[in-house]
Homo-oligomer: A and B are copies of this chain.
Amino acid sequence: MSVGTGEEGLSTKIIEVHDFKQLEELGRKNIEGKIVFFNRLMDPTMINTFGAYGKAANQRTRGAARAGVFGSVGVVVRSLTTSQDDFPHTGVLMYNDTVPKIPAVAISTNGANLLSEWLKIDTELDFIFRTTCYELPEVTSYNVIGEIRGSKFPDEIITVGGHLDAWETGEGAHDDGAGCMQSIEVLRLFQKLGIKPKRTIRAVMFMDEEVAQRGGKEYARQGALKKENHYFALEADRGALMPKGFGVSALDDRLEEILALKKYFEPYGITYFKKGGGGVDIGPLKQFGTPLSSFVPDMQRYFDFHHSGNDTFEHVNFREFQMGSAAIASFIYLIDKYDL
User: Which residues of A does B touch, CB under 8 Å?
Assistant: 44, 47, 82-84, 242, 244, 267-269, 271, 298, 300-301, 304, 317-320, 323
Contact = CB atoms under 8 A, between A and B. Distances in A.
A298 B44 CA distance: 20
- How many chain copies? 2
A301 B304 CA distance: 17
Contacts of A83: 318-319
A271 B47 CA distance: 14
Helix, strand, loop or mixed for chain A's interface? Answer: loop
B320 A301 contact: yes
B319 A47 contact: no
A267 B300 contact: no
B242 A242 contact: yes
Shortest 7 CB-CB contacts between residues of A and residues of B: A47-B268, A300-B319, A301-B317, A82-B319, A242-B300, A242-B298, A300-B320
A314 to B, nearest CB: 11
Given A301-B319, A319-B301, A271 B271 contact: yes
Nearest to A299: B269
Contacts of A300: 242, 317, 319-320, 323
A319 B298 CA distance: 12
Given A301-B317, A320-B300, A47 B269 contact: yes
A222 to B, nearest CB: 39
Contacts of A323: 300
Contact of A44 (B268, B304, B319): B319
A323 B267 CA distance: 24
